[in-house]
Structure 1
Amino acid sequence: MARWNSTSVPGFILMGLTDTAETQLVLSMLFLLIYLITVLGNAGMILIIHLDPQLHTPMYFFLTHLSFLDLSYSSVITPKTLQTLLTSTKSISFLCCFTQMFLFIVFVATECFLLSSMAYDRYVAICSPLQYPVIMSTRLCHVLLIGSYVIGFLDSTVIVVFMSQLHFCNSSVIQHFFCDTSPVLALSCNDTSEVEIIIFICAGSNLVLSLTIISGSYVSILSTVLKIHSTAGKKKAFSTCVSHLLGVTIFYSSTIFTYLKPKTSYTLGRDQVASVFYTIVIPMLNPLIYSLRNKEVKNAAVRVLQKRVGSR
């Protein structure tokens, strides 16, 4: 059996989601619509927060970068997926495949810690409201943001470097619609247990650490809110957290289902459906979740539109 290392692999073939022409057309139209909503929603969120001075607060600073991350990792996956659905070009070079994998892991790992930073921001706002402007300073916000990106970059570098050292056998067909770790590992003809352990440690440590921060923040928030005697006060406190909690639940449940399992448990149909939701649908949902359930964002959008119309 022929063996290719990382320097001699000519490329891979992405099998995509289906071989049926009718289904490919339907999926391509659906994914294109979702991607357009994703781009408009996330870019619109970034623009509104940038243009409205009332949203220049730590919470919306983090929300701006959450929208950037969602837009980024959707753009890493969706255009290539549309290409494989709409054309006969299913090939992807080794370099492009591992670049796609690297960028995707960077953005997803960074989002884990950005969500934990947002949870800490809500904790300070509710549990220490008088000290909030002092604690959540511009410097701390930038430290948390840069730290999230650094962890994401290091996490992705470690995983991709180890995976690029694998040897690949005769088959170059990736049974997936993008270069994810599990289907690429399945092509290796040497022992992948070490790489699987490294992926599990990197993904597991990121998830455990970020979820610990989020859980600790919300336990403290819940304890503080329960001490509030006013029903209106409790409702107001909870309303500032609902969007974030919903976003966290969707993101982490799909992440844990997709990545915290061994390669042997990878099943084509189930994992592809989960990956479609995880890579294509979730980036569209976040701006909807944070805008539709947030009066400040909706009011800011109205102010920005009125200002633009009035200036004409």
Structure 2
Amino acid sequence: MISRNQSTAGMFILLGFPSSRQAQLFFFGIFLAFYLLTIAANMLIVGIVTLDCTLKKTPMYIFLAHFSFLEIWYITATVPKMLMDFLTDNNTISYNSCIAQVYFFYALGFTELFFLSVMAYDRYLAILHPLRYSSLMTINRCQVMILWSWICGFISSLLVTIPSSRLLFCGQKIINHFFCDLMPLLHISCNQTLSTDVIYYAFAWIIILYSLLLTGISYVQIIRAIYCLPFQLGRSKAFSSCVSHLVVVLTFYGTIMFMYIRPSRKCTLNVDKVVSIFYAVVIPLVNPLVYTLRNRNFHTAIRKRISCVAVMFCQ
């Protein structure tokens, strides 16, 4: 019988995207561009909200700034390691680093689910109760919701990471993925049981579907309220903005539901790697664009910052 220390110690090999050297360099350029654009876009949002006196006192933008800060770390949990692997032939990761990556990836992912729910609820209050919004969503209540989103996300991740740390690996430790995820780890584990699957998927269903239910209820009420607006022009603009938010939310939920709410024995790892690109790389770039693209207050704040910088340089 293999001891736990013998079967868990050592290094894993991340298979990533096997291809020619030229293709590897091409992938490196594409994903590096996505990473840098995501970091720049989300840092811009955090910076503008922090510097603008009006935005940093508005719950909607406080949520958005924390959400953007979250996206920076969410994409950083996986992409830098993948970029390094594109440039080297030794795509290894230590056991401790692998488990740490599992923890932070799920912690930030669960936190994002909670943020999507509270941000949808914030918009629900703003649109359905505009006269009472300032009393219903105070700065203190906003900060409490943000704090609990972070706490619940990082605590929830322990329920995934702890079982991952108990897995035994008897054969080759080759992970058919570009980062350490529980699915590929279950696939190469030699002590996976039905109870492991049941516990993991029950928890995945609870977290993902509960947050989706809360987010969905808020958006349904928002769309109903928009539909009842008296002016066609205002209705179409509000509806268009709401739909763009909803499409991004549904894309994120759709991909993670495809990935995590199904038995591990039915997973096809090569397809999963492609699907993972959407929620681990693409969505963190799309989110800041969608939430700020048609936001006039944010555009005004950017122009004010640019004007201030221009004045400084001209002096």
TM-score band, normalised by shorter chain: over 0.9
Aligned match of 1:12: 12
Distance 1:236 1:135 in 2: 25
The alpha carbon displacement at 1:195 in A equals 2.4
Q: Is the 8 A contact 2:186 2:192 kept in 1?
A: no
The RMSD of aligned alpha carbons is: 1.8
Aligned match of 2:112: 111
The alpha carbon displacement at 1:63 in A equals 0.8
Q: Is the 8 A contact 2:63 2:119 kept in 1?
A: yes
The alpha carbon displacement at 1:294 in A equals 2.3
Q: Is the 8 A contact 2:241 2:294 kept in 1?
A: no
Aligned match of 1:94: 95
> 1:68-93 deviations in whole A, cap 9, x for unaligned?
11110111101100111101221111
Q: Which runs of 5+ in 2 are unaligned?
A: none
The alpha carbon displacement at 1:246 in A equals 2.9
Matched residue count: 312
Q: Is the 8 A contact 2:14 2:177 kept in 1?
A: yes
Specify the SS of the correspondent of 1:129: coil
Which protein has greater RCO, CA pairs closer than 8 Å, 6+ apart? 1
- Paired letter, 2:136: I
Question: Percent of aligned pairs with the same residue?
Answer: 38
Aligned match of 1:278: 279
Specify the SS of the correspondent of 2:54: helix
The alpha carbon displacement at 1:172 in A equals 0.7
Q: Is the 8 A contact 2:75 2:284 kept in 1?
A: yes
Q: Is the 8 A contact 2:15 2:91 kept in 1?
A: yes
Distance 1:239 1:90 in 2: 44
Q: 1:3 to 1:268 in 2, by over 3 A?
A: farther
Q: Is the 8 A contact 2:4 2:168 kept in 1?
A: yes
Q: Is the 8 A contact 1:13 1:173 kept in 2?
A: yes
Q: 1:227 to 1:276 in 2, by over 3 A?
A: closer
Distance 2:275 2:197 in 1: 20
Q: Is the 8 A contact 1:116 1:213 kept in 2?
A: yes
Specify the SS of the correspondent of 1:298: helix
The alpha carbon displacement at 1:243 in A equals 4.3
Aligned match of 1:250: 251
Normalising by the residue count of structure 1, what TM-score does the alignment of the two structures yield? 0.94
Specify the SS of the correspondent of 1:12: strand
Distance 2:207 2:256 in 1: 11
- Matches for 1:1-312 after TM superposition, within 5 Å: 4-5=4-5, 8-56=8-56, 57-238=58-239, 241-312=242-313
